Structure 1
Amino acid sequence: MKKFGQQDGEAPRPGVAAEPGRPPPFRAPLRLAGTLAFAGFAVSLVAGLFHADTASANDHPATFAEYARSGIWTAVHLGQFAGMALLIAGLLVLLVVLQAPGGAMDWTARFGAVAAVSALALYAALQAVDGVALKHAVDAWAAAAEADKSARFAVAEGIRWLEWGMRSYQSFLLGAALVLAGAVVVSARRVSRPIGYLMALSGLAYLAQGWIIGTEGFTPANTIPTLAGIVLILAWSVWLLLSAWFGRRSSG
């Protein structure tokens, strides 16, 4: 059949080859995903370094006094939100790039995307509560007259408990998103499969954090899941970044 624009006797034109030096179509969005994910981790880590947390987090009088003295509290939480937004953006781009196989994996990718977007929305609300509302509450408590301190402290503690609940469910959603995205990575086989395994393990760490925070608050019991989540996200985000920029397309 003669194609539109093809003259009689003219051989069909071969497909247009990629220009020299330009990455193939799959590589460019994969690089974007890897860059966004790693940038999100890095921004969150740097912002967290400035977070006031020398006092035990569940020792509310000591913790609230420390928060009240912090002059960059709101800015730190804005930085943490920016980091989470970049990380979630990287996950979403990755889920699109992977082009999950049909059937169960296609739905897994969709549920992973929904969980990721929900986690980001809840994280925005969490940072508004922690970075803005709690800061104003502890400032009011610190500046209150002695007769008013008890009531002001009760308000701040109520906001703190609200933070526990929001942080718990945000961790559940983020953990679910990472587990589902990890399953898609392993199934799609368009990047190294260990990246998917590490991603899923980081999701399990966040699921554990969600349970501990919801039942006990910011206790030392949450230290190991928190550190595990940090190390695992660092591992898979760096691996994804290097694979996207310097590696070859992998099927396993």
Structure 2
Amino acid sequence: MENIELIFVFLLGICIGSFLNVVIYRIPKQKSIINPPSSCPACGARIKPWHNIPIIGWFILKGKCANCGAKISIRYPIIEVLTGLIAVIVYNKTGLNIFFVTNFGVFATLLALSMIDFDYKAVPDSLNLLALTLAFFTSTEIMNNFTNALILMGGMSLIRYYVSYFIKREAMGEGDIIVGGTMGALLGIKLALVALFIGSAIAIIPSIYNRIKNSDLELPFIPFLALGTFIVWIFSDYFMQLWSNIYG
């Protein structure tokens, strides 16, 4: 029975991943995510249903549009696989219940936000607020989650104002602060701080590379915050024990 549920959860995840690809492409362009049906960005030809099957469709088409031969990014099946894996990981921790829906919803939305941030260095408030709202309901302690979100957002805003003043440029985007609220609601204050540290540590090497290679001072930060959050959420017991060992 458990194996059947795992298969169901993975298939559900890759289907959601297919929808995320639509969200990632259309929302930044302010297009409807419902109409029109999926079509080739190059020639506008409608994508046939059997070509739109998650993961398999990309391989059937050999990564090219069936009509014009335009290349289809491999990122599409990668997003689908990642979303399927996220669904399985969340299921293994929460079981198949309402908290699976809310926790998976948060991480799926963070994945979409991460990809959009990579592409545009900005994220839509609609998705960011969706992740934050879902995070309030990831446990039974809804008011406590809300309070933790406020504390993290307030703290990050305070840091933003001070650092921006001293370095004479924007130190942190508003989108990052909303994600901070999501982290607080989802993880609690202590674990959210750990996730912030891990996300920042992971971002160091890409940031240096980006500065040297592209002479770009701006690095999308939300993908690293999301990754740090996911790592800490998965191993929350370990990180909480580590926190207790260090700080008592």
* Shared fold per TM-score greater than 0.5: no
TM-score in terms of structure 2 length: 0.33
Q: Which has the larger radius of gyration?
A: 1
Higher RCO, 1 vs 2 (CA within 8 Å, ≥6 residues apart): 1
TM value normalised by structure 1: 0.32
